[in-house]
A and B are shown apart, each in its own frame.
Chain A
Amino acid sequence: MISNQAPQGPAATASASTGPGGTATAASTTAAGPAGAVATRIRGMNANVLREVALLPMLILLIIVGTLVSPAFLTASNFAGIGQQSSALGVVVVGESLILLIGGMDLSLESTFGLAPMVAAWLIVPVAAFGSGTDLSPYLGIVILLAVGAAVGLINGLLIVKGRLNGFIVTLGMTIVLAGLQNGIVKAQTLFNLPAPFGYLGSASIGQLPVSLIVTVAIFVLVGLFLRYHRTGRAIYAIGGNAAAARAAGIKVERVKIGVYVAGSMLAAVGGLMEAGRVSAVTGQQGYQEGIIFSVFAAAVIGGVSLKGGRGNMVGAASGVILLGIVGDILDLANVSNYWIEAIDGAVILFALLLARIVGGESTAEER
């Protein structure tokens, strides 16, 4: 079969293998007329391949532009910097992509991104650095950070799945509650003097490679493999593709959905830890007031993760993150006035969306 040679979307994974299951294939191909079937196959394959590489021309174009803009662009240290700066965002994008895949959405990831490290840092830094005075071990702090993420995800999941509330409204409300807590517990102070183990993930490097980048890449790869080869990962696609059919096939839809909300929020907390380490402080601004959720959605959607659920993968999500990282870096290197950066940033995202739509055929619109 021709399909063996082509990279495939997750939906087509099974076709890449011609095992004993090929018997049915062979029989059916004859029935449908071999030529027609093969033609259909090639067309389907092309669409898949195109969707995977939809952002490649855009990335190449950006690298050319970057090289022209500044000689410092095409250097290892610059790319390490892009990696480090994009890592925290990348981890949150993984979380949001999981939630989008089950057909949900979570706006509150940006607040979890700020609140979880804030709570953890508050419990571990000394009173002089505006801590609570409990002076907990930084390792315990990381556990608490994960627990805060899990708790937020659980509340969201229960309200949305069991309480049957609208996910947009629930997470919008949660965003504001969490951001308020983030400022409330430290009275809008910035926590600094983070202990080394707490800041390690965001600040350390192995040689030129930032640890955060290594961890983020590992998360992308592991989640990607999980989605492709784990039965819960496949259940996520089934639920996003047609929740009623998944339920009829015996999948515990509610349990998987709540689990995904929990996992998404925990990933957002890890992203927050990276960010805190990178800037060696936890500010009241981190997350909500920076408005990172816009970049999170943009990266996921540019990368082909469908807002309607059931479609998208980690390769796409990663390319979305890389694209946004390079755009930000070029704008920095070009010394674009701060007043204009947001406008240009937004325009680039719209352009990338349009390109992905034309090349990949993925519509982000409402059903017509």
Chain B
Amino acid sequence: MTSTGRPALVEVTGVEKRFGTTRALRGVDLSIGAGQCLGLVGRNGAGKSTLVSILSGLSEPDAGTVRFGGAPAPRVGDIQRWREWIATVFQHSMIVPHLSVAENVFLGASPQGPGLSSRAPGVVSWRTMRRRTRDIMREWGFDIAPETPCRELSVEQLQVVEIVRALASGARCVLLDEPTAALERQAIVRLFDRVRQLTEAGVAVLYISHHLEEVFEICQDVAVLRDGELVLAAPTASLGKDDLVAAMVGGVRTAAPPPAAAVTEAGATGPGDGTPGQGQSAPAAPAAGDTAPADAAHRDVVLAVDGLTSNSARGRLSGVSLRVHAGEVVGVTGLLSAGVATLGRVVAGAEASTGGAVALHGRRVPPGRRAAAQRAGIGYIPEDRRAEGFVPLLGVAENITMTITRQLADRLGILRPRARATAAGPLSSALSLVSSGPGQPVSELSGGNQQKVTVARTLAHHPSLIVAITPTRGVDVASKELLLSSLADVAAGTGAGVLLCTDELSDLVICDRVVVFVRGEVFTEFGRPPFDRDELILATEGLVTEGPAMESPAVAGPASTAATARAAAYNPAEEAAQ
């Protein structure tokens, strides 16, 4: 791929990796030369993480080879020797917060110094460690004191420490995995300067990002992974953003997409099939889709979110406002760090916000108090079902009725097991929950059935708003459709609003409206189904399609005008110039 004639520093040939029946990587070839910055992009699940872990020496490919400077790579797990060639700055900080900068830079590889430590292995020479850290910092123009405890550093400074660690180990290639996910905009600009500094000095950089504009900004070449295959590798100068998206999505954009190619990849028929009154949830029936959102706009506002801000580690929110009407399913989507899950958690009261208000039926919901939010009528399907979705030791019926013990108990608070089973029965049949009985511990169920328990638990208390965060993650296709259609059913049948926060675009099939978040802000909104998958993807990347949104603002709707303006506002090159 490197036609420049530079020697390949890192060369990957025919790499394959399987997890069970999934082929995460299928014969990937990749090479990076000295001084090259190669962008690696792909959708979630395309195989990027697998490739990163193979390139970092953490996992072994099933087939294929990794070569460094023409010679075979060290044994997998020999991280010390591996890092002499390639060092990874992971998305999640690998810094030990209570140790100093110098200790973190030389973590697991304390340098030999004069005196005792030159003779006795394992003895740390603090002076050498600090001096070498200071030298590297000075050489690269960084200014963090080696003695500083890392817990006092900002996210950006921690990243610098990780880059210095990579340089200290002598790595000739630095792998940056989603480096801008947690950074402020100014910090991103400074990071780009550092990357250029590295490549000018002959260090190779493999840059992994969801943000395509960043790839165009600093990478000379770009490689695209899709379903474990390398589908494109070319100089960025020769490509447009559309070409890149087309490669990521799978070439559906080469021609005008047929209307049926809506949100779902597989099973575009939608989950509402065969359920009467579910027209609006199925994109295959666009005729019904026309009326539903228009109706919804005239109905009561169930949820009003105004100017919500949060500094959550799951993704910041900076001033989010939105409405959910009765009977309306509103999808919120975006990249992992865009604050989609944070919005859901704050609305559900599972997490406090730093500002703004959440109101249900016009009444303010106290922030950060889950029990109060539930009493107000907010149901919550949490992001991670193992962490928050159920109590593993307790039975199916008990978990399902956990939200309604107040209603099931008599005046003395006595709860009869029979009452629990009776209340749980209809819900578990409606969701086709498979268990050996109402008393079977939920820990014994499959993932899909566990998620059904979590959903049933939420439906049990008849919420007037359901907040569902990635409700179909790790769930098989059949359960997925059932879960989604049960949410759509509740909205259609009881007039409850649904706030569906997800990064899984195929979940959005049940939505009447989709709001796209970029970096904690509402970026754009798609008013009515069917939603175009490619437009959604572009929007989550912070780009706007050349479709309706790019038409002259006078013609386009208000939402797309805002989107255009926002897209123009976020331009790293422009910021750099300021």
Q: State the A residues within 8 Å of B (CB).
A: 1, 3, 8, 11-25, 27-29, 31-32, 37-38, 40-41, 44, 229-232, 234-235, 237-238, 241-242, 244-252, 310-311
Known: A21-B421, A23-B425. A244 touches B387 (CB 8 A): yes
A230–B420 Cα distance when bound, in Å, is: 12
- Which residues of A are found within 8 Å of B390, using beta-carbon distances? 242, 245
Contact A24 B438 (CB under 8 A): yes
Contact B397 A14 (CB under 8 A): yes
Q: State the B residues within 8 Å of A (CB).
A: 348, 350, 370-371, 374-375, 380, 382, 387-398, 402-403, 405-406, 408-409, 412-418, 420-426, 428-429, 432-441, 444, 457, 461
A245–B441 Cα distance when bound, in Å, is: 14
Contact B392 A247 (CB under 8 A): no
Query: Could you list 16 further interchain pairs (A-B, Cβ under 8 angstroms) beyond the known A15-B395, A21-B421, A248-B388?
Result: A1-B437, A11-B394, A12-B395, A14-B397, A14-B438, A23-B429, A24-B424, A24-B433, A28-B434, A229-B415, A231-B406, A235-B405, A237-B391, A238-B394, A245-B388, A247-B370
Known: A231-B409, A238-B394, A245-B390. A21 touches B434 (CB 8 A): no
A12 CB → nearest B CB, Å: 4
Contact A250 B375 (CB under 8 A): yes
Nearest first, the 7 A-B pairs at minimum CB distance are A15-B439, A21-B421, A250-B374, A21-B425, A241-B391, A231-B405, A249-B402
- Which residues of A are found within 8 Å of B423, using beta-carbon distances? 21
Considering residues B370, B374, B408, B439, which has the most beta carbons from chain A within 10 angstroms of its beta carbon? Answer: B439
A256–B205 Cα distance when bound, in Å, is: 53
Contact A234 B398 (CB under 8 A): yes
Contact B417 A13 (CB under 8 A): yes
A1–B437 Cα distance when bound, in Å, is: 9
Nearest residue in A to B379 (C-beta to C-beta)?
A250
Known: A231-B405, A238-B394. A11 touches B425 (CB 8 A): no
- Which residues of A are found within 8 Å of B435, using beta-carbon distances? 24-25, 28
B519 CB → nearest A CB, Å: 27
Nearest residue in B to A28 (C-beta to C-beta)?
B434
Contact B424 A21 (CB under 8 A): yes
Known: A8-B439, A32-B436. A13 touches B395 (CB 8 A): yes
Contact B415 A231 (CB under 8 A): yes
- Which residues of A are found within 8 Å of B397, using beta-carbon distances? 14, 21
Contact B439 A3 (CB under 8 A): yes
A-B contacts, 5 of them at CB < 8 A, read A20-B425, A230-B413, A231-B405, A238-B402, A310-B393
Contact A229 B405 (CB under 8 A): no
- Which residues of A are found within 8 Å of B371, using beta-carbon distances? 247, 250-252
Nearest residue in A to B414 (C-beta to C-beta)?
A229
Nearest residue in A to B370 (C-beta to C-beta)?
A247
- Which residues of A are found within 8 Å of B441, using beta-carbon distances? 11-12, 44
Contact A17 B395 (CB under 8 A): no
B49 CB → nearest A CB, Å: 26
A19 CB → nearest B CB, Å: 5
B499 CB → nearest A CB, Å: 15
A211–B545 Cα distance when bound, in Å, is: 82
Considering residues B350, B409, B412, B436, which has the most beta carbons from chain A within 10 angstroms of its beta carbon? Answer: B436
Nearest residue in B to A306 (C-beta to C-beta)?
B393
- Which residues of A are found within 8 Å of B425, using beta-carbon distances? 19-24
Contact of A14 among B348, B395, B414 (CB under 8 A): B395
B570 CB → nearest A CB, Å: 34
Contact of B429 among A3, A27, A229 (CB under 8 A): A27
Contact B389 A232 (CB under 8 A): no
Nearest residue in A to B393 (C-beta to C-beta)?
A241
A252–B423 Cα distance when bound, in Å, is: 22
A368 CB → nearest B CB, Å: 17
